[in-house]
Amino acid sequence: MRKHIIYIAAILALAPVAAFAQRPGGSGQGGRPAGQGQGQPQQQGPQAGRGQQGATDQDRDRDRTRQRDRLHSLATTQQRAQFRSCDQSMERVRTHARDMGRSAQGKAFQSEQSRQQRDQLREHVRAMEQEHERMMQGLNEEQQAAIQTRSRDMEQIRGRVNTHLRALDEELAKDSPDKNRVREHLRSVEREMKEWQKHHRRAGDDLGLKT
């Protein structure tokens, strides 16, 4: 009888221990001690994200460097000469438009002289456009694709330059041209040519044509 009593008492004593082991967070099967490992995924997530972002930025930088080096290796002596020739012709147009605008100031303005200067400006623009076409056609497909956006921007500027030149022609075709309008059109040509030349030089940087 005493043995049965001791056996029952032992079972009753072990029951709370077994029940605790089965509770969430307990130390029984499938559980883990409370507090151990909690919150680690949240702490590691942002750090892992920053590491991945840093690696992605580095990959992009390496890709850009490789592309730039490859484009520079494709540049030929002839392409560099065409680039310089085109840049010089752009400078002539911009300088001529600036000087012509200055001569249109004050009482020194003469419509016939301005028409002659306009004809010279037209010749400079025609030569520049030919140089630009020659340079662009001298690039291979990979080089043209690399400056596609800049090329599109330059074509838009080219259209604006010719629009201002037509307006200049219309003003100078009058018997008594307005010198202020003549000067305004010339300033617009000079401003657009400066922008065109900027894109041209940046394209040269991208392709390794500037020496």
- Model confidence pLDDT, tens digit, residues 170-201: 999 999 999 999 999 999 999 999 999 999 99
Interval 122-151 mean pLDDT:
97
Question: DSSP for the chain?
Answer: -HHHHHHHHHHHHHHHHHHHHHSTTSSSTT---TTTTTTHHHHHHHHHHHHHHHHHHHHHHHHHHHHHHHHHHH--HHHHHHHHHHHHHHHHHHHHHHHHHHHTSGGG--HHHHHHHHHHHHHHHHHHHHHHHHHHHTS-HHHHHHTHHHHHHHHHHHHHHHHHHHHHHHHHTSSS--HHHHHHHHHHHHHHHHHHHHHHHHHHHHHT---
Report field, pTM of the whole predicted structure over 0.75: no
- Mean of pLDDT over the chain: 83
The answer, yes or no, to whether residue 163 has pLDDT greater than 90, is yes
Whether CATH 1.10.10 fits 71-207: no
The answer, yes or no, to whether residue 91 has pLDDT greater than 80, is yes
**String of b and e for 16-47 (b: at least 16 CB within 10 Å)?**
eeeeeeeeeebeeeeeeeeeeeeeeeeeeeee
For the chain, the structural domain boundaries read: 71-207
Name which residue leads in pLDDT, 51 or 98.
98
pLDDT class of 17 with cuts at 50, 70, 90: very low
The answer, yes or no, to whether residue 80 has pLDDT greater than 70, is yes
pLDDT tens for each residue of 25-69: 444 444 444 444 454 545 555 555 666 666 688 878 788 888 889
